[in-house]
Amino acid sequence: MSDVFIAFQANEESRPVIDAIVADNPHAVLSHPTGLVKVNAPNALTIRRETIEGLIGRSFDLQQIHVNLVTISGYIDEDDDQLTLSWKH
């Protein structure tokens, strides 16, 4: 079973996104390489728009993560409400 990961620039804007990932993915592990926040999870992780909106108190478009996204690993499935990285086919 391989890890998926996603990494963002460590700044104000990415903080609620990271917090949402941690809240929704109990097996996620954070690390902090220079200037980055990296989230590793076994097999899959999901980012939910609703969770982020709950944290920031206003509407959020998931595609906004592009501004601070640095790198990913895994196959992507996305729609208006969630983005999932996974290694399953």
Partner 1 sequence: MDTRVTSKKLGLKERYAAMTRGLGWETTYQPMDKVFPYDKYEGIKIHDWDKWQDPFRLTMEAYWKYQGEKEKKLYAVIEAFAQNNGQLGVTDARYINALKIFIQGVTPLEYYAHRGFAHVGRQFTGEGARVAAQMQSVDELRHYQTETHAISHYNKHFNGMHHSNHWFDRVWYLSVPKSFFEDACTGGPFEFLTAVSFSFEYVLTNLLFVPFMSGAANNGDMSTVTFGFSAQSDESRHMTLGIECIKFLLEQDPDNVPIVQRWIDKWFWRGYRLLSIVAMMQDYMLPKRVMSWKEAWEMYAEESGGALFKDLARYGIREPAGWKQACEGKAHISHQTWNAFYNYNAAAPIHTWVPSDEELNWLSEKYPESFDQYYRPRLEHFREQQQAGNRFYSKTLPMLCNTCQIPMIFTEEGDASQICYRESDYKAYKYHFCSDHCKSIFDHEPEKYVQSWLPVHQVYQGNCFKPGTDPTAEGFDPLMAVLDFYEMNVGRDNFDFEGSEDQKNFAAWKGDTK
Give strand ranges (E) for 22-68.
29-31, 36-42, 44-48
Q: Which of 28, 40, 79, 84 binds partner 1 (CB under 8 A)?
A: 79
Burial grade of 53 (CB within 10 A; 0-12, 13-18, 19 or more): middle
Closest distance to partner 1 from the beta carbon of 87 (Å): 7
Contact characters 32-71, partner 1, x per CB under 8 A? --xxx----------------------x-x-xx-xxxxxx
Query: Which residues in this chain contact partner 1 in the complex, by CB under 8 A?
Result: 2, 9, 34-36, 59, 61, 63-64, 66-73, 75-76, 78-80, 87
